A and B are shown apart, each in its own frame.
Chain A
Amino acid sequence: MYDVVDFLLNTQLGLNSPDWVVMLISHLVVVGMLFAVAPLQVLFLTYYERRAIARMQDRVGPNRVGYEGLLQPVADGVKMFTKEDIVPDSADKIVHLLAPIVAAAPVLYMFAVLPWGPNMIAVDLPTGLLFFFAISSISTVGLLMAGWASNNKFALLGAMRAVAQVVSYEIPALLSLLFAVMFAGSMSLMAIVEAQGGLFISTTDVPSVPDLGLGWFVFTPVGFLAFVCFFIAALAEGERTPFDIPEADSEIVAGYMTEYSGMKFAMFYLAQYILNFLLCAITATIFFGGWQGPGVAWLVSQSLSADNPAGNPVYNVLAGMLGTFYLLAKTYMFFFVMVALRGAFPRLRIDQLMNFGWKFLIPLTMINILSAALWIAITRWGTAQGFGIIEFAGEPGNLVRWVIAFAVTLVINVAAYWFLARLNVQDHAARQAALTAGGLAVSPPRSA
């Protein structure tokens, strides 16, 4: 953005603006775009979800307001605004007011570190990934505040569940993302996306490979396992089915949102949908190359930048548009998976959720980190570093090293999955056995 603004102001219009003006304008443009885009995204997401689920249920879904119901979210928004704001008499008024703000505000910050396209990022923090998840956990405080301040038992139960769930699923989520930091050597989300250019084997730094933007981490066994673990954890973190336990409407009415109405309720709703959108976007960014895709690299190479003063700024814009398109396409794909899961599955119980997280997901992600280390060791280290396997293979090419790494990590990950799955199944069988020992036998009904 800086380059484009600089080009327009100084080269085209000849204003000779100082550096800080260019910087300020480019940042304002980015921030303005982000905060205009975020709520619009959410508006569309609700419509998208309702139509998709309606399809699954043999219904049509909202199709009355505007063309094919596209304005339905706007109508909903207007309704939300005009609703009476009810605060229970016995509620803690101040905390009750603050809770939706605490829940919604941090989520908007998360947009700041999300790379939308090449050089299109509000703040390229060197610790972007850490920031992303650190900020997302603050939202949980808002949920607890809401549950506590409402002075409602359902709300309290919901808040307790929300905190327990989010806290235990942050761990596998972050553990599964560690591999990306190791692969890219940076916590900056931009660096992680850039590391996914080229083809699959580009992690071995092959210069001759054409940059098709397909070197996605998900194509490695390490990345794939991490992707599966992270997406499950993301469902729990975004409180999506089958982990929508904190707001289980059939059990505890609406969880921590029970006593909220009008715009305060809308704030929770907004926060949740933005969080879900961002979790999908971060999945796309870390595992599926974010804005990377065929053509982006070529457009970037033609565009104007400090290294390439002869480039055409049109290509900057085109590269940004294509990158954003790739990112959004991937994000919406993942959001569709979330929607489809919601349409298909019932929810787990809170203790089953905890068991799954602590006994299955966390060990699996930890083993995955070991795999990630091995992958890096095998693909990056040459004989100079004295790594045994490589010496044995005798100065192999990058492709051979890639294949060896693929095979080794695949074996480790499949074995880990198989072992843990078996452990948990045995656990299940043991419980069934205890049931049988109590004089009961589990079997399908027989006709008498």
Chain B
Amino acid sequence: MITTDELQINIGPQHPSTHGVFRMLLTVDGETVVHLEPVFGYLHRNHEQLAEVNTYLQNMPYTDRLDYFNSMANNHAYALAVEKLAGIEVPERAEYIRVLMVELTRILNHAGALGFMINDMGAWQTPLAFGIREREKILDLFELVSGARMMCNYFRFGGVVRDIPDEFIPRMKKLMIAMPAYMDELERLLRENEILLARSEGIGILPREVAVSYGVTGPVLRGSGIAYDIRKAEPYSIYDRFDFDVPVGSVGDVYDRFLVRIEEMRQSRRILEQIIEQLPDASGGHINPKARQNVRPPVGDAYARVESPKGELGFYLVSDGGTKPYRYKVRAPSFINLTPLGDMCRGYKVADIVVILGSIDIVMGEVDR
């Protein structure tokens, strides 16, 4: 019998597939993972403390930088928290525009995440290029409404910065016609490719009990078979008006998470279709309540959460009656979803780790604040 020693490897902080500055302290026996400890904090930039010296509105662009893939969803969660704290009403049309932007964000996030995941499996950038190509088209729309592609800073307390331009809806309709084709294409990539199946089926299983005990949310939780979606569980904004399904997986492996994301993209498209039908015309009221931009909420606290593409994104705000939040806390889905990584990776091969990490879909800007 050959005696083997365990080897400790640092994957990261500088590594091609850690999606940012993230370290995995890895103990391997040959190629098999014995222990994995996620180490983060390298990207800490004092986000929460910084928010306490800024006014409420000044924090809005900072939330863009949390999860830089989904600035719209971050804006939404923060705007909801402040509105809850200050008791601000949002006009009908603004609500629709907000949900429209957030659902577009979900599609672009999932398209990118799936591309990155297959890239981690070793496909030389082709699936990634396909995902990014679709993402770019949606970013064009964001540029149209907000002037920025990624750091949109589009939401305001009680509305959005400005109304959508006239050409927005026709362009979005055109984009939506093309959507089912590439969603099917992405799905076929997995379902009809033997190598992808071999690399994803039964890999990185997160049992439902474990997922719940870690507080995992989003597609990772739904991949484990729990139909928990805040849009359904605690409808915020106007989500109770739309008809959509929550896809769930059954095993909780990489394969399930992949399929859940594909299905979520389809469901988001369904919501977009309903928004286009129901969208009230601009005469229904203003969208940019200028008077309310410097809010001074009453003393108290508020927690608002949204189903961001990565999971439950929550903002907890405490107000002392001033123009700045007394306490500002972000419940970041990437951070919580990353914590069970050690459990998910134990017993698998080194090559599986990056795939599992890719299937969680993290953005380090959100993990380290």
With known contacts A154-B9, A347-B122, A440-B205, A250–B17 Cβ distance under 8 A: yes
B361 CB to nearest chain A CB (Å)? 15
**In whole angstroms, how far apart are the Cα atoms of A253 and B16 in the complex?**
6
Within A58-110, the residues touching B (CB, 8 Å) are 58-59
In the complex, are the beta carbons of A346 and B199 less than 8 A apart?
A: yes
With known contacts A346-B196, A350-B351, A432-B202, A57–B263 Cβ distance under 8 A: no
With known contacts A57-B129, A242-B122, A244-B122, A442–B250 Cβ distance under 8 A: yes
A318 CB to nearest chain B CB (Å)? 40
Task: Please give, as numbers and ranges, the residues of chain B lying within 8 Å of A391 by CB-CB distance.
Answer: none
**In whole angstroms, how far apart are the Cα atoms of A387 and B306 in the complex?**
80
In the complex, are the beta carbons of A447 and B124 less than 8 A apart?
A: no
Task: Please give, as numbers and ranges, the residues of chain B lying within 8 Å of A443 by CB-CB distance.
Answer: 250
Q: Mark B102-124, 1 if CB is under 8 A from A, else 0.
A: 00000000000000001111111
Q: Which of B124, B223, B251, B352 has the most CB of A within 10 A?
A: B124
Task: Please give, as numbers and ranges, the residues of chain A lying within 8 Å of B250 by CB-CB distance.
Answer: 440-443, 445-446
Task: Please give, as numbers and ranges, the residues of chain B lying within 8 Å of A58 by CB-CB distance.
Answer: 129, 133
In the complex, are the beta carbons of A431 and B202 less than 8 A apart?
A: yes
**In whole angstroms, how far apart are the Cα atoms of A442 and B252 in the complex?**
9
Instruction: Indicate which residue in A154, A347, A440 contacts B251 across the interface (CB closer than 8 Å).
Output: A440
**In whole angstroms, how far apart are the Cα atoms of A251 and B252 in the complex?**
22
User: Which single residue of chain A is at the shortest CB-CB distance from B260?
Assistant: A445
Task: Please give, as numbers and ranges, the residues of chain B lying within 8 Å of A435 by CB-CB distance.
Answer: 202, 251
In the complex, are the beta carbons of B122 and A447 less than 8 A apart?
A: no
Q: Mark B230-270, 1 if CB is under 8 A from A, else 0.
A: 00000000000000011111111001100110010000000
In the assembled complex, B31 has its CB within 8 A of some CB on chain A: yes
Task: Please give, as numbers and ranges, the residues of chain A lying within 8 Å of B353 by CB-CB distance.
Answer: 251
Q: Mark A171-190, 1 if CB is under 8 A from B, else 0.
A: 00000000000000000000
Q: Mark A128-158, 1 if CB is under 8 A from B, else 0.
A: 0000000000000000000000000110010
Instruction: Indicate which residue in A253, A342, A345, A350 contacts B15 across the interface (CB closer than 8 Å).
Output: A253
Task: Please give, as numbers and ranges, the residues of chain B lying within 8 Å of A447 by CB-CB distance.
Answer: 245-247, 263
In the complex, are the beta carbons of B248 and A442 less than 8 A apart?
A: no
With known contacts A346-B199, A445-B256, A445-B263, A250–B125 Cβ distance under 8 A: no
In the assembled complex, A245 has its CB within 8 A of some CB on chain B: yes
In the complex, are the beta carbons of B349 and A346 less than 8 A apart?
A: no
In the complex, are the beta carbons of A250 and B247 less than 8 A apart?
A: no
With known contacts A345-B195, A347-B195, A448-B246, A53–B126 Cβ distance under 8 A: yes
In the assembled complex, B50 has its CB within 8 A of some CB on chain A: no
Task: Please give, as numbers and ranges, the residues of chain A lying within 8 Å of B195 by CB-CB distance.
Answer: 242, 345-348
Task: Please give, as numbers and ranges, the residues of chain B lying within 8 Å of A440 by CB-CB distance.
Answer: 205, 207, 250-252
Q: For chain A, give the interface size range.
A: 35 or more
In the assembled complex, A444 has its CB within 8 A of some CB on chain B: yes
In the assembled complex, A389 has its CB within 8 A of some CB on chain B: no
In the assembled complex, A56 has its CB within 8 A of some CB on chain B: yes
Task: Please give, as numbers and ranges, the residues of chain B lying within 8 Å of A351 by CB-CB distance.
Answer: 31, 349
Within A205-257, the residues touching B (CB, 8 Å) are 241-242, 244-245, 248-253
**In whole angstroms, how far apart are the Cα atoms of A253 and B15 in the complex?**
7
**In whole angstroms, how far apart are the Cα atoms of A108 and B235 in the complex?**
67
In the complex, are the beta carbons of B122 and A446 less than 8 A apart?
A: no
In the assembled complex, B193 has its CB within 8 A of some CB on chain A: yes
**In whole angstroms, how far apart are the Cα atoms of A252 and B227 in the complex?**
36
In the complex, are the beta carbons of A57 and B15 less than 8 A apart?
A: no
In the assembled complex, B7 has its CB within 8 A of some CB on chain A: yes
Task: Please give, as numbers and ranges, the residues of chain B lying within 8 Å of A153 by CB-CB distance.
Answer: 7, 9
Within B193-247, the residues touching A (CB, 8 Å) are 193, 195-196, 198-199, 201-202, 205, 207, 222-223, 227, 245-247
In the complex, are the beta carbons of B124 and A342 less than 8 A apart?
A: yes
In the assembled complex, B39 has its CB within 8 A of some CB on chain A: no
In the complex, are the beta carbons of A250 and B205 less than 8 A apart?
A: no
Instruction: Indicate which residue in B125, B198, B259 contacts A352 across the interface (CB closer than 8 Å).
Output: B198
In the complex, are the beta carbons of A347 and B202 less than 8 A apart?
A: no
Task: Please give, as numbers and ranges, the residues of chain A lying within 8 Å of B246 by CB-CB distance.
Answer: 447-448
In the complex, are the beta carbons of A448 and B202 less than 8 A apart?
A: no
In the complex, are the beta carbons of B198 and A343 less than 8 A apart?
A: no
B185 CB to nearest chain A CB (Å)? 13
In the complex, are the beta carbons of A348 and B247 less than 8 A apart?
A: no
12 A–B contacts, CB within 8 A, in A order: A57-B125, A248-B122, A250-B122, A251-B350, A342-B124, A346-B193, A348-B195, A349-B349, A445-B250, A445-B259, A445-B260, A446-B247
Supply 14 further A-B pairs (C-beta < 8 A) apart from A58-B133, A250-B119: A53-B124, A57-B126, A154-B9, A157-B31, A242-B122, A242-B195, A249-B122, A346-B122, A346-B196, A349-B349, A440-B251, A440-B252, A445-B256, A446-B248
5 closest cross-chain pairs (CB), A and B: A347-B122, A346-B121, A447-B245, A448-B227, A57-B129
A binding-site residues for B, Cβ under 8 Å: 53, 56-59, 153-154, 157, 241-242, 244-245, 248-253, 342-352, 431-432, 435, 440-448
